[in-house]
């Protein structure tokens, strides 16, 4: 299959050749991805008063096991020694974050194999969970605040959590976050014990759905895109393969993400066959390199 997919772009220009080579597939020998809690989609009609609510940060997910900071892919985060030494013994789950609209800048910082101190001084580790901790999420919220306070370093912060009493109040908060440049909201069930995996205990509310897929090949461009990539051929976590052409700028079409790269895309909804409808390229997942 790989040979067929690569053959499709044979007429492309040399800018694509490196990305077509089989040896760019990501090394499978990296550490196993950490087991983390993943969100489902918020559905209208649910009672938000049963949940803690927080802003969905557009950052890079990072898990601290008490010794090492890792991306969700399993790769180690090459953070400065002072950043790591300031973290507590307790396992943490959160987002590396710079601020609204600064994901690309953050991605460039955390991807570097040799960290730059001046750049990392801007980065915050925003904690929203304590992996493996006992008790309900309400109890863990209090413990997160205590752990962060005891650490006493400015780059470690607890993601603010609050409660709402109704759907009307939830949507008002949602609109405030979007107006400020935020992505949306996360809702974590107050009585939930900690466990990994995708669950109704954690829900996300945002304007567009997003997901991840692995690049498995390319379709050649036509017309003004001749000699460039017309669409990325990708495979998602359920094994569905489809093309993504929308959202690709000229620079990405000339130098597309390599085969084996994990990308993020946005879409409207899933078809009856489980295929994303109107998928649109978003970005390369920073920790997927």
Q: Quick one: pLDDT at residue 273?
A: 80
Q: What is the four-CA torsion angle of 42, 75, 59, 165, rounded to 10 degrees?
A: 30
Residue ending a domain, among 205, 225, 260, is 205
Burial of 109 (0-12, 13-18, 19+ CB in 10 A): buried
Contacts of 262 (CB under 8 A, 6+ apart): 73, 212, 213, 214, 215, 284, 285, 288
Residue of 102, 162, 171, 176 whose CA lies nearest to 128: 162
The whole-number pLDDT of residue 286 equals 65
Alpha helices in the chain (DSSP H): 2-7, 17-20, 81-85, 103-111, 117-120, 137-151, 167-179, 250-254
Residue 285 confidence (pLDDT): 82
CATH number at residue 184: 3.30.470.30
User: Do 17 and 137 belong together in one domain?
Assistant: no
Instruction: Decide if pLDDT at 7 tops 60.
Output: no
Residue pLDDT, tens place only, 60-119:
999 999 999 999 889 999 999 999 999 999 999 999 999 998 988 999 999 999 999 999
Using one digit for the tens of pLDDT, what is the confidence trace for 210-261? 899 999 999 999 999 999 999 999 999 889 999 999 999 999 999 999 999 9
Within this chain, do residues 144 and 65 fall inside the same structural domain, yes or no? yes
| Number of domain units in the chain | 2
Q: Are residues 110 and 50 in the same domain?
A: yes
Give the model's pLDDT for residue 20. Answer: 36
Q: How many CB atoms lie within 10 A of CB 79?
A: 21
Rounded CA-CA distance 242/247 in Å is 15
pLDDT mean over 49-59: 96
Q: Where residue 10 falls among pLDDT bands split at 50, 70, 90?
A: very low
H or E stretch at 233:
strand 229-236
Q: Which residue has the higher pLDDT, 100 or 21?
A: 100
Mean pLDDT of 176-187: 94
Could you identify the residue written with the tokens 């991807």?
111
Q: Examine the domain organization and report whether 54 and 174 are in the same domain.
A: yes
266: left (phi over 0), alpha (psi -120 to 50) or beta: beta
56 in catalytic set: yes
> What is the pLDDT, as a whole number, of residue 275?
86
Q: Which residue has the higher pLDDT, 148 or 74?
A: 148
Start-to-end CA distance of the chain, whole Å, equals: 23
Task: Please state, for a pLDDT cut of 70, what percent of the chain lies above it.
Answer: 88
DSSP letters, 33-84, are PPP-EEEEE--TTS-GGGEEEEE---SEEEEE-SS-EEETTSPBP---HHHH
Same domain, 198 and 128: yes
- Last residue in a domain, options 185, 205, 225: 205
For residues 256 and 167, state if they share a domain: no
Distance CA 284, CA 73 (A): 13
198 and 235 assigned to the same domain: no
Do the beta carbons of residue 180 and residue 49 sit within 8 Å? no
**Domain assignment of residue 273, given as a range:** 2-30+209-288
Please check whether residues 7 and 103 belong to one and the same domain: no
Residues 188 and 98 in one domain: yes
* Residue 36 predicted with pLDDT over 50: yes
Contact yes or no for 265/281 (Cβ under 8 A): yes
Q: From the candidates 56, 143, 222, 273, which is the catalytic residue? A: 56
Q: Are residues 153 and 263 in the same domain?
A: no
State whether 57 and 152 are in the same domain.
yes
**Given 149, 174, 205, which residue is the final one in a domain?**
205
Structure-token match 């393969």, residue found: 241
For the domain that residue 247 is a member of, what is the CATH number? 2.40.50.140
Q: Are residues 42 and 123 in the same domain?
A: yes
């Amino acid at each position: 299959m790989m040979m067929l997919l690569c053959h499709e772009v044979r007429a492309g220009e040399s800018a694509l050749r490196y990305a077509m080579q089989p040896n760019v597939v990501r090394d499978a020998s990296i550490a196993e991805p950490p087991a983390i809690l993943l969100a489902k989609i918020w559905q209208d009609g649910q009672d938000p008063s049963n949940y803690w609510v927080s802003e969905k940060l557009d950052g890079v997910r990072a898990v601290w096991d008490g010794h090492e900071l890792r991306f969700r892919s399993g790769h180690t985060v090459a953070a400065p020694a002072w950043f790591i030494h300031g973290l507590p013994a307790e396992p943490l789950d959160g987002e590396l974050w710079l601020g609204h609209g600064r994901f690309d800048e953050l991605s460039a910082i955390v991807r570097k194999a040799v960290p730059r101190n001046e750049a990392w001084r801007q980065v915050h580790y925003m904690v929203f969970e304590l992996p493996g901790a006992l008790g309900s999420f309400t109890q863990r919220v209090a413990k997160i605040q205590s752990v962060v306070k005891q650490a006493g370093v400015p780059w470690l912060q607890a993601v603010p959590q609050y409660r709402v009493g109704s759907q009307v109040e939830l949507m008002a908060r949602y609109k405030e976050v979007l107006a400020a440049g935020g992505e949306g909201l996360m809702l974590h069930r107050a009585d939930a014990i900690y466990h990994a995996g995708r669950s109704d205990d954690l829900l996300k509310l945002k304007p567009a759905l997003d997901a991840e897929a692995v690049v498995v090949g390319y379709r050649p461009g036509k017309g003004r895109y001749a000699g460039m990539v017309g669409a990325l051929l990708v495979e998602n976590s359920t094994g569905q393969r489809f093309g993504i052409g929308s959202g690709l700028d000229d620079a990405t079409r000339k130098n597309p993400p390599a085969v084996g790269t994990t990308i993020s895309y946005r879409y409207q909804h899933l078809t009856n066959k489980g295929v994303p409808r109107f998928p649109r390229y978003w970005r390369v997942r920073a920790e997927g390199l």
